[in-house]
Structure formats: C-alpha cells, structure tokens
Chain A
Amino acid sequence: MALDLRVPRLRSAAILVLKRNIKVWRKLIGPALLMNFGEPTFYLLGLGFGLGAYIGQMSDMPYLTFLASGIIASSAMNTASFEGMYSVFTRMDQQGTYDAMLAAPLDCDDIIAGEMLWCATKSLISGVAIVVVAGLLGAIGGWQLLWLIPVLFLVGLCFAGPAIVMSALSPSYDFFTYYFTLVITPMFILCGVFYPTDTLPQALQSFTQILPLTHAVALVRPLAAGGEPGGVVLHLAVLAAYALVGFYLAVVLVRRRLIR
C-alpha cells in the first residue's frame, strides 16, 4: 500500500495532545517524581562516591561531577525512549486514545508532534531532577546550568522520534526489548556517560560519533561541570537531525498504522 509521505505540518493542535498528557502526569505526580529523584540519587551516591573514591578525577573533574553530567544526558535519553515506546504504544494500541483523538479534529501530525513535545518535556523533568540532586551533593552548580533546559529538551526530541517509530512498527510490548538491547543499552555504555570516549579503540570511537547520545553528552557535560562546550553547532545539528528525521518517519509510520 502507498505510504502517505507528505511532510507533516506543525499546528497548535499539538499543544492539546501535550496538555492531555500533562494532565495525566499530574494525577500520578507522586510516584513519577519519586522515580525522577530517587533513581539518580542512588546512582550518584553509589557509583559517584563509591567508584569515585577509587577514580578521583576524570577528564579534569571529580568523578561525581563527570558521572552526574553523563547521567543527566542518558536519563533524558531513557525517559524519552520509554515514553515514546511503552506509553505511546499504550495510547495508540491498547487504550485507543489516538482513535478517539482522530475522531476529533486532530490528525496524526498533531498527535505525534504533541507526543514528541511531551517526551521532551519528560526528558527535561528527569534531567532537571538529576541537576537538583547533583547540585545538592555539590557536584555541579552555576548559572550556566540554565543552558541545560533547551539542550535537554532537544535531547528528548532527538530520542522521542525513533522511539515512536518503534511503537508504530511494533506488534506488542515485547518488540521494544530489541530496541533497548540493541540501541539504547549500547549507547548508555559506549557514549561517554561513565568514561570519556577517547579511551575506546579508534574504530569504536568513530562509531560512537554517529550515535546521538555522544553528542548529547558532549553538550551536557561541559555545561554541567561549568565549562564551555566545543563544537556546539555540530552537536546541535546531529541532535536536531535525529529529531527531525525521527519526527518525519514517526508520522509516516503512524499514518500507515492508523489511517488505512
């Protein structure tokens, strides 16, 4: 069957989808925030202090700072990926939420744009929670942290698109295991969250350069640690490219699934 390849249009109706999701989130805000703050706290306390005692400095900063800045970026990735897969799939397939929206004057473009904004918002929330925890632990600080707000939002958009693509292709929840095992986990391990990528073999280093998390970490780490990121244009361009291509493919594939 012919795919509807028309370029998605951005309309204000996407905000209605975003607002709907925010309203649901607010109902479950207690457990949601507990997870946002609890998990990084244990990471930073355990790995940051535990491992940090052996490591001391990494890339000219305390290991706790190094790790916190990595976790801020990877948490934005994880949050958008989870939301774009499990939650989007639930709404698309299980709850019929999109069917109901499509019976109203919304279309797939609006729904997916709204979902991407929501994924990015959640990424931002989870990133900020870690910033707060790391700040309280004295690992990071300073006004330059405010730059993390737009950066984390962009990181969220970057990972939301591919995750929604997986949802659109998925027959069931089990399918997402492939994506987590083959895509998300390797990035988590390889892209500089726990150690600088320049210690990796050259071939692997080149490979990590095409992975978006590498570029997210490259922006987030200096901003968190109080420095100034280099190669900003390249990093932003890679993240934006993933976001835009992901958005386009997500809309086309969700159309294929719902409008047939």
Chain B
Amino acid sequence: MRGDAVISARGLTKRYGADSVVDRVDFEIHRGQCFGFLGPNGAGKTTTLRMILGHCPITEGTLTVFGQSVASQAKSIRQRVGVVAQTDNLDPDFTVAENLAVYGTFFGIEPAQLEKRIPELLDFADLRAKANVKPDALSGGMKRRLAFVRALINDPELIVLDEPTTGLDPQVRHLLWGRVRELTRRGKTILLTTHYLEEAERLCDELIIMDHGRILDRGSPRALTRRHVEAEVLEITDCGGLDESWVAQLSAQAGCRLERVGDTRYCYSNDARSMIPQVESHRQLTYLHRPSNLEDVFLRLTGRELRN
C-alpha cells in the first residue's frame, strides 16, 4: 500500500433495495496512474464512478478522494476533478469557446485566467478553428473533444473518463488516446471506464475487471493476460464442413485449451504455432494466429454469453 492514493475505496457497496450494484469493492488509485474499470454493461463501473463524484450516495463502506471523504466533501473534491461523461452534455446555446468559458465560471475561475486557458485547450483539442461555432455544427468526434477539454478547464488533478471513445472513428480515438497519455505524463491521474479492451490495453497502467458489482481481478494488462490465458491463440473459423472431432483431436495434440464462440474455435496455447500447417491444409478453414490479449482475459473472466 502506497501513501499517495488519489482514490481509496474500502468495502464500497451500493444497493438499490436488495439489489447490490456494487458489492464490497476495494481499490486504490495512485497519483499519475491511468487506472481502468473494465466490465460488461451492468457490471457496476458507472455506479462506482458516480459514487466517486458524489452523485450516488454510498450504501456501505468508505470512499476517499484526495484523502477527503466523498460523503461529506464531494464539492471540494469536484473542484479538483475533471469529468467526461458517457453522453455529451454540452450547452447547445453556446459556442465552443463559450461552453468552456461558462463551465469555467462554475469552478470560480477568473475571466482573465479563462481568457488565457481557453485558447490552450482549444489547441489541445484541435478545435481552434471552431471556437465560434455551436456544438450542433460539430461532428461527433469534435463534440467529444470539446467535452474532453471542457473537463480540463479547472486544470484537474484527477480526470474521470466514462467510456470516452464509444462511437468515435479511429482517428479521433487515437487523438484522444494520445492526449490521455500526455496528461499522465504531466502527472495527472486518470480513471477510465471502457469496454474496448484495446483501449484499456493501450492506456491503462492498472485495471480492474468487474462483473455483477464485484472485482474479478486486477493488475496491469500484461500481468492479467499472463495470469489468465495462454500466450497465443489460434482462431479457426469454419467456412463449411468443419469436422468437430478433428479440431478437438488437433488441439489435444498441441495441448490447447479449446473454446467455441459462434462458428469460431479459439485454441489457447503457449505454442499454437505447431497447429498451423495442419489447419492450413484444410481449404474450408480460415485462421488467425495472434498473441493473446486482454479481450481473451475479459471473455474468460466474464463469460461469453450476451449481455443486455
């Protein structure tokens, strides 16, 4: 346990009636970390974020941010936090620059200071040319970038990103990822929820995988991958006429753990390469040989069935 915890949760619980949405969760997030909450829909990620921001009364347990209790100090905590919500809540009546300016007043920032900071933020979001345009005239990616820099108006120590890149095109996602990395380099602490495993793998120093309100496991993406899945995967996709027993036999020979999702078989092994020549000889099969990743961990821990 280190002394520089930005967020510390002990036995954190949220119940609605008898329904535990977050169930006795412990975690610590340290200064300068990019920390991820991963989980399927309904895992309790967003509820946990809402509790951290003081938007959701805690049923049980303790939760401190910057060493202050969220239950009694939520507003002074939020003075030092930036939040990018899941759904855009920009002000449609204000221009891009006015959105930043008005939001800045909510933090008590002086106009002179805002005048200096707004152009910097517009540059950071690559929105300088759109300063006098209203959000309706912006693309989805631009709106997200504006919401992102609006969360930086108070130069926050902790930045909370709730599924920041959902629905964005790859260019914008890469831009935002770059900005997030830049912020951690500047010593900011980032808390991120996502169900894009690639995003978590690229950004997070440490992450928690949640489901049904509980923590299934935690660690760095690499450590989690090493702990839960074999090093390599051979994905075999059936294009007609696949002999089930042949695959089973093949994977048994290679010492593979075999999983099936739809018409694809996933063969997990520390040496899946040895199977390739035999798979290649079957014309009706396509295959993909890759290192295992967080997605494999995620599916292993949370199961492969569909969520609502």
Contact = CB atoms under 8 A, between A and B. Distances in A.
A16 B109 CA distance: 11
A36 B55 CA distance: 38
Given A27-B93, A95-B89, A97-B89, A105 B57 contact: no
A79 B83 CA distance: 34
B174 interface: no
Contact of A105 (B55, B56, B94, B107): B107
B76 A105 contact: yes
Interface residues of A, number: 25
B93 to A, nearest CB: 4
Contacts, number: 67
Contacts of A20: 91, 102, 105
A150 interface: no
A104 B78 contact: yes
Interface string A188-212: 0000000000000000000000000
Nearest to A20: B102
B88 interface: yes
A175 to B, nearest CB: 22
A16 B106 CA distance: 6
B105 A100 contact: no
Interface string A7-40: 0000001001001100110011000000000000
A188 to B, nearest CB: 30
Contacts of B105: 16, 19-20
A107 B57 CA distance: 13
Given A95-B91, A101-B106, A105-B106, 11 more contacts: A20-B102, A96-B88, A97-B89, A99-B85, A100-B103, A102-B55, A103-B85, A104-B106, A104-B107, A259-B57, A260-B56
Q: 5 nearest interchain CB pairs?
A: A96-B89, A104-B106, A103-B83, A100-B89, A105-B75
Interface of A: 1, 4, 13, 16, 19-20, 23-24, 27-28, 95-97, 99-107, 258-260
20 contacts: A16-B105, A16-B106, A27-B93, A28-B93, A95-B91, A95-B92, A96-B87, A97-B91, A100-B89, A100-B103, A100-B150, A102-B53, A103-B85, A104-B107, A105-B78, A105-B108, A106-B75, A106-B106, A107-B74, A107-B75
